[in-house]
Amino acid sequence: MIVASIIAVVQLTVEVISMCRDYSNGSADRLRIVNALEDLKLVLEGLQKLANGTRFVMVKQMCQTNGPVVRCSEALTLLKRKLATPQNTLSKIKQIVKWPLDKKDAQDVCRYLLDAKSTIQLALAEDEM
């Protein structure tokens, strides 16, 4: 169950990265978000490997209701919703051309993703001590 939760967040991260790359503008903000997502994905994949090993208890704590993995999933779901393209073809074309996040939203997303990644990395480092 824990490993499945982490895998689901990794898959959601990959999906959001792909959605970001579908846009043709907002390049600086989009690139920062994609980089933050790719960094987060690497940390989550490392966490996934640890979940299969002897550090299962620590990983389980990170996946609890208000833990960093669940918070990442919630943030990614919200970002996915903001990036989603409408079903109408004309609206879809307009949406892909126009990056849906303003500069402040993009900065907030990057900050949140980096904070989540740092929290997971810090917990992993403390567990190694």
**Residue 58 pLDDT:** 76
pLDDT over 90 at 38, yes or no: yes
Give the pLDDT confidence of 58-113 residue by residue, as tens digits: 788 888 888 889 989 999 999 999 888 766 666 666 656 678 888 899 899 999 89
SS (H, E, C) the chain: CHHHHHHHHHHHHHHHHHHHHCCCCCHHHHHHHHHHHHHHHHHHHHHHHHHCCCCHHHHHHHCCCCCHHHHHHHHHHHHHHHHCCCCCHHHHHHHHHCCCCCHHHHHHHHHHHHHHHHHHHHHHHHHHC
Q: Which pTM was predicted?
A: 0.83
pLDDT exceeding 70 applies to what percent of the chain? 84
pLDDT exceeding 90 applies to what percent of the chain? 33
pLDDT over 90 at 42, yes or no: yes
